[in-house]
């Protein structure tokens, strides 16, 4: 990653923490961990809260009746947000999701009874029989990826040729 992308990437990780605090309304805090798996060539980063979950947050804010897995799917769509007024939202996972797609990584989200995953160009959902009390977002970065990454704003037409 270029230094500019690395900074933006870190800002987006921070926004996921901020969203976990803001949207979950947890009284028990936010928990995070990460682990590098050199033999499996990936880095996992997980953020967990014990709050109200995606389903309750989305359904209350927008007066909808989405199922737990569909509420996660809705939240993962670009431009969707539960924030009101002119406060921008839906930005925290956008850059990370774009990077994961290009990097051939994985995102997994569990909230309430819903499970949502993106891997290798495919999105899938599942409904568990029992709820998880809060939300878990796991981001898996493919460390075997040989590509270099940069922000589109870093490309200058005079540098192409």
> What are the domain boundaries of the chain?
3-24+36-146
Rounded Cα–Cα distance for residues 19 and 28 (Å): 15
The helix (run of H) or strand (run of E) holding residue 134 is: strand 122-142
Question: Under a CB-based contact definition with an 8 Å cutoff, are residues 68 and 127 in contact?
Answer: yes
Q: How many other β-carbons are positioned within 10 Å of the β-carbon of residue 16? A: 18
Across the range 125-131, mean pLDDT stands at 95
pLDDT digits (tens, 9 = 90+) for 60-84: 988 899 999 999 999 888 778 776 6
Tokens of 49: 């809260």
CATH assignment, 3-24+36-146: 3.30.1220
Question: Under a CB-based contact definition with an 8 Å cutoff, are residues 129 and 112 in contact?
Answer: no
What pTM was computed for the model?
0.86
Beta strands per DSSP E along 86-121: 106-119
């Amino acid at each position: 990653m270029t230094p500019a992308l690395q900074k933006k990437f870190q800002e987006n990780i921070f926004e996921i923490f901020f969203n976990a605090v803001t949207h979950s309304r947890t009284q028990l805090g936010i928990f995070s961990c990460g682990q590098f798996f050199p033999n499996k060539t990936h880095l996992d980063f997980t953020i967990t809260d014990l709050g109200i979950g995606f389903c309750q947050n989305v359904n209350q804010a927008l007066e909808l009746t989405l199922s737990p897995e569909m509420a996660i799917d809705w939240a993962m769509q670009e431009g969707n947000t539960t924030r009101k007024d002119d406060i921008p939202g839906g930005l925290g996972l956008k850059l990370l999701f774009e990077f994961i797609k290009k990097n051939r990584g994985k995102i997994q989200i569990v909230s309430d009874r819903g499970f949502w995953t993106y891997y290798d160009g495919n999105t899938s959902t599942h409904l568990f029989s029992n709820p998880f009390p809060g939300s878990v977002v796991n981001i898996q970065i493919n460390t075997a990826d040989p590509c270099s990454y940069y922000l589109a704003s870093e490309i200058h037409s005079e540098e192409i040729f």
